[in-house]
């Protein structure tokens, strides 16, 4: 055998790349995931509520110090999932006996497992993001909720943590033969340093219902919506996909809607925060703003076997 002068050296086996770490707590109450680059997310099985999302070492979500995390009531803060009705249910509708914002945020979801994907919206290749799936079905619903909303449904909520952001998607499936109508909303509480320096952009020209002003209907003329008092507005049929939260003129969060047309902008301000028992500290309204993506104008209707999927990608600039 002739020895080649420029024999290639043996290819070294590629060292194991660091993987995302995923942990289900010993009491089966929460799932945490951390990327090798340091980003992390924490989700309670109660409500499939994301209660923490950190990037660049900074917490992006506001969580009340008095938030009840034991499953006895919805979580005040993080990202509660609102389904199948937004706000107080209307009389004469199939949701009429449900609690405000529905049952999803107050039900125990099942953890369906993790996957890493190279093709997701937040992936740039390799194992650089992790997707956590949670399920809620008619069979696992409380008897009370089952009675109040007697449809055969399945929800899969996927939370994907990437280096560049967080994606949360809700998939709704009608598992039965009878059609049902629903609304959905992802009630994100964003953490800010000082809400008086915040502007919400991307809503110009959009019609909204002002819940603080007796549900008066108005059109947003301001390219930068500022929060100067109690704010509770339901922006409808928004043509622009992205709503941006800017703080002290610096980009802070971009909220990109996926197959959802509406967004609620909410801040309780001083008096309302004082009246909410689990809202602490009482001046915490200074450090939060809710921009909640959803489908809340009218109803989504699903016939038997049909599915709907909608959600958001949030990018943070800490």
| Binding interface with ligand BG6 (CB under 6 A) | 87, 100-101, 187, 211, 232, 264, 266, 292
Which lies closer to ligand BG6 via its Cβ, residue 100 or residue 140? Answer: 100
Query: 3-state class of 115 per DSSP?
Result: strand
Rg of the chain over all Cα atoms, to the nearest angstrom: 21
CA distance 123 to 144: 40
Cβ–Cβ under 8 Å, residues 78 and 60:
no
The minimum distance between CB 73 and ligand BG6, in angstroms, equals 10
Q: Determine whether 46 is an active site residue.
A: no
Cβ–Cβ under 8 Å, residues 114 and 158:
no
Six-digit token string for 148: 């109040």
Which lies closer to ligand BG6 via its Cβ, residue 130 or residue 264? Answer: 264
Which among 318, 100, 300 has a CA at the least distance from the CA of 310?
300
Six-digit token string for 206: 């959009």
The minimum distance between CB 293 and ligand BG6, in angstroms, equals 11
Cβ–Cβ under 8 Å, residues 307 and 175:
no
CA distance 217 to 207: 7
Which lies closer to ligand BG6 via its Cβ, residue 141 or residue 184? Answer: 184
Q: Return the residue matching tokens 């995302």.
A: 20
The minimum distance between CB 211 and ligand BG6, in angstroms, equals 5
Q: Where are the alpha helices (DSSP H) in the chain?
A: 143-148, 269-275
Query: 3-state class of 104 per DSSP?
Result: helix
Query: 3-state class of 245 per DSSP?
Result: strand
Which lies closer to ligand BG6 via its Cβ, residue 83 or residue 266? Answer: 266
The minimum distance between CB 195 and ligand BG6, in angstroms, equals 15
The minimum distance between CB 237 and ligand BG6, in angstroms, equals 17
Q: Determine whether 280 is an active site residue.
A: no
**CB-neighbour burial class of residue 117 (10 A; exposed 0-12, middle 13-18, buried 19+):** middle
The minimum distance between CB 115 and ligand BG6, in angstroms, equals 31
User: 39, 42, 261, 292: which is the annotated catalytic residue?
Assistant: 292
Which lies closer to ligand BG6 via its Cβ, residue 211 or residue 297? Answer: 211
User: 187, 220, 247, 261: which is the annotated catalytic residue?
Assistant: 187
Sign of the alpha-carbon torsion through 62, 68, 70, 72: negative
Which lies closer to ligand BG6 via its Cβ, residue 30 or residue 187? Answer: 187
- Which residues form the catalytic set? 187, 292
């Amino acid at each position: 055998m002739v020895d080649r002068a420029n024999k290639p050296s043996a290819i070294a086996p590629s060292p194991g790349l660091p993987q995302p770490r995923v942990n289900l707590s010993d009491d089966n109450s929460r799932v945490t995931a951390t990327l090798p680059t340091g980003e992390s997310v924490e989700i309670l099985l109660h409500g499939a509520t994301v209660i923490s999302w950190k990037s660049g070492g900074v917490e992006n979500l506001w969580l009340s110090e008095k938030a009840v995390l034991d499953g006895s009531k919805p979580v005040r803060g993080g990202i509660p999932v609102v389904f199948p009705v937004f706000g107080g249910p209307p009389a004469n509708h199939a949701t009429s006996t449900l609690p405000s914002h529905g049952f999803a945020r107050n039900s125990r979801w099942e953890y369906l497992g993790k996957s890493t994907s190279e093709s997701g919206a937040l992936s740039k290749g390799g194992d650089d993001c992790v997707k956590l799936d949670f399920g809620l079905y008619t069979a696992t619903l409380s008897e009370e909720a089952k009675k109040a909303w007697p449809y055969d449904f399945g929800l899969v909520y996927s939370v994907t943590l990437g280096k560049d952001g967080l994606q949360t998607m809700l998939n709704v499936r009608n598992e039965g033969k009878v059609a049902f109508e629903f609304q959905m909303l992802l009630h994100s509480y964003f953490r800010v340093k000082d809400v008086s320096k915040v502007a919400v952009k991307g809503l110009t020209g959009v019609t909204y219902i002002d819940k603080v002003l007796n549900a008066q209907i108005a059109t947003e003329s301001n390219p930068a919506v500022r929060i100067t008092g109690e704010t509770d507005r339901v922006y409808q049929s928004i043509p622009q996909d992205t709503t941006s939260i800017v703080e002290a003129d610096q980009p802070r969060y971009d909220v990109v809607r996926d197959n959802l047309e509406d967004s609620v902008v909410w801040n309780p301000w001083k008096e309302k925060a004082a009246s909410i028992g689990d809202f602490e500290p009482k001046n915490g309204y200074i450090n939060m703003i809710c921009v909640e993506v959803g489908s809340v104008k009218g109803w989504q209707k699903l016939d038997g076997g049909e599915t709907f999927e909608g959600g958001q990608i949030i990018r943070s600039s800490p």
